Amino acid sequence: MEQAQASVSTALPPPGASLIPGTPLVEMRDICIAFGGIHAVDHVNVDLMPGEVVGLLGHNGAGKSTLIKILAGAYKADSGEIRINGEAAGITNPRDAKRYGIETIYQTLALADNVDAAANLFLGREIRTAWGTLDDVAMEAATRGVMGRLNPNFRKFKEPVRGLSGGQRQSVAIARAIHFNAKILIMDEPTAALGPQETAQVAELIKQLKAEGIGIFLISHDIHDVFDLADRVSVMKNGKLVGTARTTDVTQDEVLGMIILGKVPPGALAGPGGMQ
Ligand SMILES: Nc1ncnc2c1ncn2[C@@H]1O[C@H](COP(=O)(O)OP(=O)(O)O)[C@@H](O)[C@H]1O
Ligand SMILES: [Mg+2]
């Protein structure tokens, strides 16, 4: 174990080898997908451990969303392998992904604006009474339970979510994901539309989920959104993985160099397509 730790900054393990001890929640290996002639994701490897936040960084068009859509079952990879808890996973549609405990929160949140938090939590998966009617009491109680864990200051249980702030809406979307036992949460540009205060609120939510052992892929084109929250960052450029680094082993400037120039600093492990 000690040797594996030391190897991060000295002798690097071979490409594709895990940087971290223990069984990863997620291993995406040698993933490729092309649209027409465009290699949107080109031989990419990423991992995620329980309770870990991995920032997936890169310019717009780098392939970040496409990569995570493969994990979420929205796209099928042309080649490559996904392992969940160390075992090969067959993910061919979003339902499969949910079965593996993978939940995705897209930038748009996909909330139903005209109904309240509880109705959003149970959208399409409503609790019903023995008579077949909607069990609003049970759904509100469950919603209060999850929100109490996530965002204890949340009070707007009776309001349509249209009236909530961006941060509150984000917590409803996260509550919906974790209530149904997400172990792996994918957040694609979660703070892109939020102000500083609400961004801080989302950061608190992420820390809470991390403490509960949930693994999170946090996707952003902006290093400032993720560097402080992430345990590791994986950087993509033109569909390829530039490299992966622990945030304690690299500076923000070095990560910017990875994003902009594709340059791999000494503290990072180069991806299969990474340029040294
Ligand atoms: N459904 C699609 N059809 C065709 N091209 C696509 C599709 N989805 C993504 N792409 C292309 O794949 C590349 C990566 O896009 P994307 O994964 O959205 O990047 P990012 O999320 O890093 O901004 C881009 O060139 C984009 O135009
Ligand atoms: Mg994207």
Residue 248 lies in a domain: yes
Across 50-64, 75-89, 154-168, 227-241, least confident range: 154-168
Ligand 1 lined by 40 (C-beta under 6 Å): yes
pLDDT of residue 153: 85
Q: How many whole angstroms separate alpha carbon 148 and alpha carbon 13? A: 43
Distance CA 65, CA 76 (A): 13
Q: What percent of the chain has pLDDT over 90?
A: 65
CA distance 170 to 239: 28
CA–CA distances in Å: residue 243 to residues 203, 249, 275:
24, 13, 9
In this structure, the number of other CB atoms found within 10 A of the CB of residue 135 comes to 17
- Looking from the CA of 1 toward its CB, the CA atoms found within 13 Å total 3
**Could you tell me the distance, in angstroms and rounded to a whole number, from the CA of residue 157 to the centre of ligand 2?**
31
CATH number of the domain encompassing residue 194: 3.40.50.300
Q: In this structure, which amino acid lies at residue 40? A: A
Residues 19 and 47 sit within 8 Å (Cβ to Cβ): yes
pLDDT, residue 168, reads 87
Residue 119, in any domain of the structure: no
Three-state SS letters, 145-162: HHHHHHCCCCCCCCCCHH
Summary mean pLDDT of the chain: 87
Domain annotation covers residue 110: no
- How far apart are the C-alpha atoms of 260 and 100, rounded to whole Å? 34
Q: What is the extent of the structural domain holding 97?
A: 2-11+18-101+183-270
Q: Is 201 in the pocket of ligand 1 (CB under 6 A)?
A: no
Q: Is residue 207 part of a domain?
A: yes
Q: Using an 8 Å Cβ cutoff, are 52 and 215 in contact?
A: yes
Identify whether 254 is part of a domain: yes
Answer yes or no: is the C-beta of 276 below 6 A from any ligand 1 atom. no
Residue 142 counted as domain residue: no
pLDDT for 190 beyond 90: no
pLDDT in tens, 87-138: 999 999 999 999 999 999 887 777 899 999 999 999 888 999 999 999 999 9
Quote the number of domains for the chain.
1
* DSSP label at residue 109: T
User: Out of 139-153, 211-225, 257-271, which region has the weakest mean confidence (pLDDT)?
Assistant: 139-153
8 A C-beta contact, residue 185 and residue 26: no
Q: Which ligand is nearest to the CA of 234?
A: 1
If you write DSSP's letter for every residue of 175-242 in order, what string do you get? Answer: HHHHHTT-SEEEEESTTTT--HHHHHHHHHHHHHHHHTT-EEEEEES-HHHHTTT-SEEEEEETTEEE
Alpha carbon distance, N-terminus to C-terminus of the chain: 27
pTM of the predicted protein model: 0.85
Edge-to-edge strand list for the sheet holding 184-188 = 102-105, 184-188, 215-220, 53-57, 232-237, 240-246, 268-270
Confidence of residue 180 (pLDDT cuts 50, 70, 90): confident
Q: Is 65 in the pocket of ligand 1 (CB under 6 A)?
A: yes
Contact predicate 16/270, CB 8 Å: no
How far apart are the CA of 6 and the centre of ligand 1, in A?
Answer: 36
> Confidence band (pLDDT; 50, 70, 90) for 250?
very high
Give the pair of three-digit tokens for residue 20. Answer: 């971290």
